[in-house]
Amino acid sequence: MTQDFAKQHRSAPPTQSSPPRWSWFVTGFVSGAFLTFLGALWFFIPATEVETAAKPVAEPENPVEEMQWDFYEIFPKSVVPVVEEYAESGEKITTDQFAWVLQVGSFTDPDDADELRASLILMGLDVVVSPGEVDGREWHRVVAGPFENTLERNRAQDKLAQAEIKSIPIRIPK
């Protein structure tokens, strides 16, 4: 067969094709998910009507007891006398008549107090366990000190802080 190359046959102009089938699937899936979401909102959101039921009133089980105000007695006892001395130059020297201790812990079990005391002695601190009674219960207070000046107290607090042990400084009369 011979072919005429002078006359070339032109192919048909390109026609517009329809979108691929997967795009129809994606469009249908997204539309269905959206409609399902709207249906869930319609059924699962509670009604806006508020019921006006009477709220119950809580009754106290125990009557309120009067508090004991001990600070009237504590404050006069906590006053520490200050001794004033004069130097040869005539300047007033104030000598404080108190020392510092650090309360490191307070336990109802004496074995716990002794255990903390032993660990603090290994750290190089002077530690004492002093028993006392509070509200009818016996407590064992672990106290480090006494420290004569603020520098010694601060050094002891730094040692305790490095060991992650909390302490409370307390001023006591000498």
**Is pLDDT above 60 for 117?**
yes
Per cent of the chain over pLDDT 70 is 68
pLDDT of residue 113: 93
Using the structure block, give the residue that is written with the tokens 């979401």.
37
Complete DSSP assignment for 98-129: EEEEEEEEEESSHHHHHHHHHHHHHTT--EEE
Which residues are CB-contacts of 83 (< 8 A; sequence separation ≥ 6)? 94, 95, 97
97-173, what's its fold? Alpha-Beta Plaits (3.30.70)
pLDDT of residue 39: 87
Which residues are CB-contacts of 132 (< 8 A; sequence separation ≥ 6)? 138, 139, 140, 141
d(CA 154, CA 79): 23
Question: Average of pLDDT values for 133-137?
Answer: 88
Higher pLDDT, 105 or 14: 105
Q: Is 142 helix (H, G, I), strand (E, B) or coil?
A: strand
Averaged pLDDT score across all residues of the chain: 80
Complete DSSP assignment for 59-88: PPSSPPPPPP--HHHHHHHT---EEEEE-T
**Is pLDDT above 70 for 173?**
yes
Residues 53-85 have pLDDT tens digits of 677 777 767 766 776 766 666 666 665 555 566
pLDDT of residue 147: 87
80-101 in b/e burial notation, b at 16+ Cβ within 10 A? eeeeeeeeeeeeeeeeeeebbb
Q: Where are the domains of the chain?
A: 97-173
Question: Average of pLDDT values for 5-33?
Answer: 79
pLDDT of residue 100: 86
Number of helices and strands (H, E) in the chain?
4, 6
Residues 79-115 have pLDDT tens digits of 555 556 666 776 766 666 778 899 999 999 999 999 9
Residues 152-163 have pLDDT tens digits of 899 999 999 999
Residues 41-50 have pLDDT tens digits of 888 776 665 5
Per cent of the chain over pLDDT 90 is 36
